């Protein structure tokens, strides 16, 4: 039954992603397989079931929660006669819509071409079919080769462009001198921008969608006369496409080069423990897991708790653990300073600020040991 709960959470998240990209979801399909089908990812019976539903209800797109191989995509599209998106494609689409600076746009474009390159043949079969089933003769391999070359050249160009901006950004970071730098990290939509806003009194875009934050913003924050720089970074997400991890290198450099990480967690979300793991996983990947960290559990105002009756014999679920119990658990097991807040209602801000102040001060003192 825990598997089923997980599955619902994953599908909820996928639906939220689809909503962020601008789609409305009509129906969910799931299938249990010990191993995905190498040719079509799902079984043929399930594919047929979806195909019929799509036809009957005039559905435009079918979205898969995993990354499909180029041939799986091609086979599924052919079999179900509908546009297929996989998770990577969907996430890339959202990033493309939301990229605001030229840097972010370049990063997304690069990731999109890297995704497209091995899937190029699919577009051709597609076009051929539209032209009336000329079959495999069509425009032929040479044109696909030409297209591949154009895309490869474009990828090289974009990488060069990014390298140049990376250098500029590295210089900018160096110029920030010895001021302590803290970076907000956390799963997407946990409240990083909101916290940034209330700490720096600036207006950073915050909304209830996934990846509202694409570009990093840096703000000067002062707590008790102690100034430091605070960076808001892109939200991490489960199964972040590898193309993105690669091309958002510089965004992640802000994290890698930070002196202190402020890990924001949405305690009102049922899968918050999974989210913590996903974030720690990315931190490992970029080799930033050994930095000083503060755990900030956010959205305590939105925490819901279903109290169990004493004679209720059904096993405990996450839902009937109270906030107090979570606090006790995490205070005991976290090796980092930990605090529970509401960024929206500014609850427990003095306590959080004290923690941040202490950590920043420690780093500051280690840097300027002879100052008073």
Question: Which residues contact ligand GDP (rule: CB under 6 A)?
Answer: 186, 188-194, 206-208, 212-213, 235, 298-299, 301-302, 342-344
In whole angstroms, how close is the CB of 210 to ligand GDP at the nearest point? 7
Q: What is the side-by-side strand order in the sheet with 260-266? A: 217-223, 226-232, 181-186, 260-266, 293-298, 338-340
Q: Smaller CB distance to ligand GDP: residue 191 or 241? A: 191
In whole angstroms, how close is the CB of 146 to ligand GDP at the nearest point? 41
Q: Smaller CB distance to ligand GDP: residue 243 or 298? A: 298
Q: Smaller CB distance to ligand GDP: residue 42 or 300? A: 300
**The CA-based dihedral angle spanning residues 217, 223, 227, 232, taken in that order and rounded to the nearest 10 degrees:** -10
Burial class (CB in 10 A: 0-12, 13-18, 19+), 205: middle
Q: Smaller CB distance to ligand GDP: residue 66 or 302? A: 302
Distance (Å, whole) CA 77 – CA 54: 12
- In 3-state terms the chain splits into helix, strand, coil percentages (rounded to 5) of 50, 15, 35
192: number of Cβ within 10 Å: 30
In whole angstroms, how close is the CB of 333 to ligand GDP at the nearest point? 23
Q: Smaller CB distance to ligand GDP: residue 41 or 340? A: 340
In whole angstroms, how close is the CB of 105 to ligand GDP at the nearest point? 20
Distances (CA, A) of 84 to 30, 68, 74, 100: 16, 10, 9, 27
In whole angstroms, how close is the CB of 357 to ligand GDP at the nearest point? 21
Contacts of 175 (CB under 8 A, 6+ apart): none
What's the full length of the chain, in residues?
372
In whole angstroms, how close is the CB of 300 to ligand GDP at the nearest point? 7
Strands 293-298 and 217-223: unpaired
Q: Smaller CB distance to ligand GDP: residue 18 or 206? A: 206
Strand partners, 83: 61
In whole angstroms, how close is the CB of 188 to ligand GDP at the nearest point? 5
Strand partners, 232: 184, 217
Nearest to residue 300, comparing CAs of 330, 335, 336? Answer: 330
């Amino acid at each position: 039954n825990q598997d089923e709960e997980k599955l619902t959470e994953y599908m909820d998240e996928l639906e939220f992603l689809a909503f962020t990209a601008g789609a409305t979801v009509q129906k969910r399909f799931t299938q249990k397989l010990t191993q995905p089908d190498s040719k079509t990812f799902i079984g043929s019976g399930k594919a047929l079931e979806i195909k019929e539903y799509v036809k009957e209800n005039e559905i435009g797109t079918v979205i898969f929660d995993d990354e499909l191989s180029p041939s799986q995509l091609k086979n599924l599209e052919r079999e179900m006669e509908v546009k297929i998106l996989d998770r990577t494609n969907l996430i890339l689409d959202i990033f493309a819509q939301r990229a605001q600076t030229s840097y972010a746009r370049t990063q997304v474009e690069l990731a999109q071409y890297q995704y497209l390159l091995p899937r190029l043949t699919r577009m051709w079969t597609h076009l051929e079919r539209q032209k009336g089933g000329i079959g495999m003769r069509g425009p032929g391999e040479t044109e696909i080769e030409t297209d591949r070359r154009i895309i490869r050249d474009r990828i090289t160009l974009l990488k060069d462009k990014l390298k140049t901006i990376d250098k500029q950004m590295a210089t900018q970071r160096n110029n920030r001198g010895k001021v302590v730098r803290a970076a907000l990290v956390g799963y997407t939509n946990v409240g990083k921008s909101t916290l940034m806003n209330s700490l720096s009194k600036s207006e950073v875009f915050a909304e209830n969608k996934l990846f509202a934050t694409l570009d990093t913003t840096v703000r000067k924050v002062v707590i008790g006369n102690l100034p430091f720089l605070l960076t808001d970074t892109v939200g991490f997400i489960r199964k972040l496409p590898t193309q993105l991890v690669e091309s958002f290198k510089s965004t992640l450099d802000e994290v890698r080069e930070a002196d202190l990480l402020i890990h924001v967690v949405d305690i009102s979300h049922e899968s918050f423990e999974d989210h913590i793991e996903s974030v720690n996983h990315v931190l490992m990947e970029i080799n930033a897991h050994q930095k000083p960290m503060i755990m900030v559990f956010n959205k305590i105002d939105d925490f819901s708790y279903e109290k169990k009756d004493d004679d209720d014999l059904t096993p405990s679920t996450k839902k009937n653990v109270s906030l107090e119990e979570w606090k006790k658990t995490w205070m005991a097991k976290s090796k980092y300073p930990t605090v529970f807040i509401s960024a929206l209602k500014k609850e427990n801000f003095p306590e959080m600020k004290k923690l941040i102040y202490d950590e920043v001060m420690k780093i500051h003192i280690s840097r300027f040991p002879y100052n008073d």
